[in-house]
């Protein structure tokens, strides 16, 4: 297993985020937004600057956390119904152009992993909607084949596919080596699934990337609260042991979300990195 960090979880200043990562021995960055610009909007000058920053520190890119398919399934209306991380809301008709641009950026950053989603949830996941989601991957898979890249489907509770079991059904139905799963136990927890062992057992055959964040749900809470890795309700000790046992050799990418009371995202990321390093060692 290799450790990575989604850099904007530390700070919007890309170089500073990389320097913090270096303090913890992290040598791979997952790119989502840099200097206040989402990866899908990055221009050539910013791309060159980011590549220099990585090269100067001897770091690589684990993957691109793109916003592809964070849109409506049944309308071309561009709306933001969940976290977009500075990405411009785009309608369904613009998604393939965004994917192609992100594929170009993946080549520039020398990574093969391109993350994508499964449309904003606007009601229950029906069999009809699930089939439409499956069908929607026909063109992305074709693009991935042309570009020799891997699409990583993230389970996201704000989208139709929020659990590991649901993500596995999509990957099984699409049945392409170009579509794998970015497993996010924190999102599965928010979607009502027990991430480990239930969600993990469903996704492990399709696993190619992992996001880690932890949460706790107290009786008085309406929604889960993010916390330091290992201090929440997700069994990360069991999850990481299972990954070792199953021979997982991909990236575990920290997506902190936790901000201590009165503190900063960087402080939350530092606390989570300390905890995660302890788990991994």
In DSSP notation, the chain reads -EEEEEGGGT-S-HHHHHHHHHHTT--EEEESEETTEEGGG--HHHHHHHHHHHHHTT-EEEEE---TT-S-SS-------S--TTPPP--GGGHHHHHHHHHHHHHHTT--EEEE---B--S---HHHHHHHHHHTHHHHHHHHHHT-EEEEEP-TTBS--SHHHHHHHHHHH--TTEEEEE-HHHHHHTT--IIIIIHHHHGGGEEEEEE-EEE--TT-SS-EEE-TTSSSS-HHHHHHHHHHTT--SEEEE------TT--HHHHHHHHHHHHHHHH-
Mean pLDDT (10-residue bins), the chain, 281 residues:
97 98 97 98 98 98 98 88 85 97 98 98 96 98 98 97 98 98 97 97 98 89 90 96 97 97 97 94 83
Domains of the chain: 2-280 (3.20.20.150)
What confidence tens digit (pLDDT) does each residue in 98-155 have?
A: 999 999 999 999 999 999 999 999 999 999 999 999 999 999 999 999 999 999 999 9
What confidence tens digit (pLDDT) does each residue in 28-53 have?
A: 999 999 999 999 999 999 999 999 99
pLDDT (0 to 100) of residue 31 = 98
pLDDT (0 to 100) of residue 240 = 96
pLDDT (0 to 100) of residue 221 = 74
pLDDT (0 to 100) of residue 281 = 83
């Amino acid at each position: 297993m290799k450790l990575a960090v989604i850099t904007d979880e530390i700070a919007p200043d890309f170089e500073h985020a990389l320097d913090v990562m270096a303090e913890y021995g992290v040598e791979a960055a997952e790119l989502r937004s840099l200097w206040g610009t989402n990866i899908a909007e990055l221009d050539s000058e910013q791309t060159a600057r980011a590549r220099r920053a990585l090269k100067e520190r001897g770091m690589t890119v684990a993957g691109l956390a793109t916003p592809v398919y964070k849109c409506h399934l049944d309308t071309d209306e561009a709306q933001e119904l969940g976290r977009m991380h500075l990405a411009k809301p785009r309608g369904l008709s613009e998604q393939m152009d965004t994917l192609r641009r992100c594929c170009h950026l993946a080549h520039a950053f020398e990574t093969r992993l391109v993350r994508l989603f499964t449309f904003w949830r606007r009601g229950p996941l029906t069999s009809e909607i699930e089939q439409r989601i499956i069908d929607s991957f026909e063109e992305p898979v074709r693009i991935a084949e042309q570009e020799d890249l891997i699409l990583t489907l993230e389970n996201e509770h704000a989208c139709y596919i929020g659990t590991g079991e649901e993500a596995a059904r999509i990957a099984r139905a699409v049945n392409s080596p170009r579509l794998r799963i970015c497993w996010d136990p924190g999102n599965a927890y928010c979607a009502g699934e027990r991430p480990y062992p239930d969600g993990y057992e469903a996704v492990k055959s399709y696993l190619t990337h992992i996001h880690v964040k932890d949460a706790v749900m107290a009786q008085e809470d309406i929604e889960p609260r993010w916390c330091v890795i290992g201090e929440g309700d997700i069994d990360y000790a069991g999850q990481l042991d299972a990954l070792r046992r199953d021979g997982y050799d991909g990236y575990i990418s920290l997506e902190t979300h936790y901000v201590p009371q009165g503190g900063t995202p960087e402080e939350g990321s530092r606390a989570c990195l300390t905890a995660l390093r302890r788990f991994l060692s």
